[in-house]
Amino acid sequence: MIKIAPSILSADFSKLGSDIEKLDKFGADFIHIDVMDGMFVPNISFGIPVIKSIKKITNIPFDVHLMIEEPSRYIEDFVEAGADIITVHFEADRHLDRTINYIKSFGVKASVALNPATPVDNIKYLIKNLDMVLVMSVNPGFGGQKYIDYSNYKIEEVKKLSDKYNKDLMIEVDGGVGRNNIKSVVKSGANVIVAGSAVFKDNKIKENIASLRGEI
């Protein structure tokens, strides 16, 4: 089954609780939470207090995407805040194997994100120990960007590694996915789709989620 993970970076923060309740009601599989520190990416979003507060109003698993420097410093804090999946970027932590094992030691799922210019081969030896790989199909830091076309080839490469080494791997794609291209993204091998503006556009969360699923 293809999972839809709405990114709350595109939600209306004046009524975030209400939007999350709608995600619960209208069938989101994960809630994708982009944490940015203004260092690893040129933007700042939100952190642990926001995650803790919204965890109280939903049972949807939290897919926490750490776009921060040295994420290993904060893993335990994000677990305590309610993360169910934690994604770290390949470039962000010097000892990535150690960080992945550290994440898994808390009983949560571990994921590595690949920026557009990051080769898939970089995770060849890690992939057996991962629960998910996140293919960034835009340059991280801002919502609403256009999908980078060569991302499909990267998804296909991750799928080949998954078929060979880890058949249970979730392959997530983040950035610029909507009704016009979700079918090709899934065909390339993705099984978790992050959607920001494609879900929250025009405050039609129910219709937008249904529309995305209808294209798969």
Domains of the chain by start residue, with CATH: 3-215 (3.20.20.70)
Query: What is the pLDDT at residue 28?
Result: 97
Query: What is the pLDDT at residue 120?
Result: 98
174 a catalytic residue: yes
HSE value, Cβ hemisphere, 13 Å, CA-based, for 66:
30
- Is 196 annotated as a binding-site member? yes
12 a catalytic residue: no
**pTM, rounded to two decimals:** 0.96
Query: What is the pLDDT at residue 36?
Result: 95
Q: What is d(CA 32, CA 76) in angstroms, rounded to the nearest whole number? A: 18
Query: What is the pLDDT at residue 140?
Result: 84
Query: What is the pLDDT at residue 144?
Result: 73
- Is 89 annotated as a binding-site member? no
Query: What is the pLDDT at residue 206?
Result: 96
Q: Among residues 19, 37, 131, 174, which one is catalytic?
A: 174
Query: What is the pLDDT at residue 51?
Result: 96
Enumerate residues 6+ apart whose C-beta is below 8 A from 59: 24
Query: What is the pLDDT at residue 141?
Result: 76
- Is 12 annotated as a binding-site member? no
- Is 95 annotated as a binding-site member? no
- Is 142 annotated as a binding-site member? yes
- Is 27 annotated as a binding-site member? no
Q: What is d(CA 34, CA 88) in angstroms, rounded to the nearest whole number? A: 11
Q: Among residues 29, 34, 37, 131, which one is catalytic?
A: 34
pLDDT in tens, the chain (216 residues): 899 999 999 999 999 999 999 999 999 999 999 999 999 998 899 899 999 999 999 999 999 999 999 999 999 999 999 999 999 999 999 999 999 999 999 999 999 999 999 999 999 999 999 999 999 999 987 777 899 999 999 999 999 999 999 999 999 999 999 999 999 999 999 999 999 999 999 999 999 999 999 998
